[in-house]
Every structure is written in C-alpha cells, then in structure tokens.
Amino acid sequence: MSSDRLMLVHSPEFQAHMERVQRVTDLTSRLNVLPFGDEAGKANLFEQILGKPLPTGTTIYPPFYTDHGLHLDLAERVFINQNCSFLDYAGIRLAEGVWIGPKATFITGGHPVDPAERQLYLTGAPIDVAENVWIGAGATILPGVTIGRDAVIAAGAIVADDVPPATLVTGPKATVRRQW
C-alpha cells in the first residue's frame, strides 16, 4: 500500500503516470463495450488493467473505471457492481469479502488547497477497506480513509474520515450512527 504522496505535475514521474492513465483509459473503454458474457475477454482486459489476474471469486460488473489500475489491490471474494470508479493513484486495498454497490467512487488523488500550489502538485493518500465491508450505491470514499472490518457504508454517503469496525455510517458526510 502506498503512503501519502505528493507528485510534481511537471516531472518525469507525472509524465509516466499520465501515460499509464491513457493506457488504462483505453483498456477500460474496450472492457466496457464487451458483451457481458465474454468472460475470457473480460479476464484478459482485467489482467492488463490490474497487472495480474482477478483473485478467486472476485466479480466486477462493467462498466468499470480506474485511472491507473496497478495500485488497485483486490482480495478474494470481492464484488464490485456496475459503474464504479477507482482513482487509485495513491493505492486502494479491498480486503476479502468486500461488496460494493453500483456507482460507488473511490478517490485517492487530489491537489493542494493553496491556489499557488494547486496546479503544481498531485496529492494522494491511500484507501484501505478491511474484510467484509459493504459499501452502498453511490457512496464516495475520499483520500486517506480506512474502513474497519464489518462496517457498512450507506448508499450516497461521503466518507471523509476513518470508519471504525462494525459501524454503520450514513449521510452526505458520513457520521457514525451505530456501532456494535
């Protein structure tokens, strides 16, 4: 898992990053127009996008979007419903048994708030999702968030802070409602 990141926009590192983004955008564009039943075609494209085959029992329903792919770490038995986005610049880890509803968004990158630095740097912090987490439709998980084992993120929640294990979070800015 990557640690917090800061990348100068006008740098060879950023250029390499953008080349990967362009390659993965092409790959996901091809993935998202395959017939749903073309398992071999999907497996081939996912392997190119992720840099390795999908783990055992992991299911992803296209359309599927990621900007880098190589920083998306999926465990076994992960389920990702259709139309989800993973901006994985700083790393996203989904542990075993994570289920994700449609249109969920995971964002690890951003820019400094200071206007003088905003266009100079890409910032990032990893997202870490523990075992058996459920993430509802349309939820947004922001940079640097850790979600504890057995937590449930309600549909439409915006998660900007860490979520303790066995917790239900709801709302436009997710807040703890119940813990068990």
pLDDT in tens, 55-87: 999 999 999 999 999 999 999 999 999 999 999
Is the pTM higher than 0.85? The answer reads yes
28, pLDDT greater than 80:
yes
Mean pLDDT, residues 125-146: 98
1, pLDDT greater than 60:
no
Rounded CA gap, 50 and 53, in Å? Answer: 7
71 is annotated as an active-site residue: no
Q: How many CB atoms lie within 10 A of CB 156?
A: 17
Contact 87, 99 (CB under 8 A): no
Rounded CA gap, 63 and 71, in Å? Answer: 19
The dihedral formed by the CA atoms of 153, 106, 56 and 101, expressed in degrees to the nearest 10? 40
35, pLDDT greater than 60:
yes
Poorest-confidence range of 51-55, 118-122, 128-132, 170-174?
170-174
Share of the chain above pLDDT 70, in %: 98
* HEC sequence for 149-169: CCCEECCCCEECCCECCCEEE
pLDDT of residue 113: 87
As to burial, measured by CB atoms within 10 angstroms (0-12 exposed, 13-18 middle, 19+ buried), residue 35 is exposed
Rounded CA gap, 83 and 151, in Å? Answer: 22
Rg of the Cα atoms in the chain: 16
**Which amino acid, 165?**
P
Mean pLDDT, the chain, integer: 95
> Cα 44 to the chain's mean position, in Å?
20
pLDDT in tens, 94-123: 999 999 999 999 999 999 988 899 999 999
39, pLDDT greater than 90:
yes
Q: In 60-171, where does DSSP find H-type helix?
A: 115-118
4, pLDDT greater than 90:
no
Instruction: Tell me the backbone φ, ψ of residue 25, rounded to 5 degrees.
Output: -60, -40
pLDDT of residue 3: 58
179, pLDDT greater than 90:
no
pLDDT of residue 175: 76
Rounded CA gap, 152 and 30, in Å? Answer: 32
Sheet containing 64-66: give its strands across: 64-66, 84-87, 105-107, 140-141, 158-159
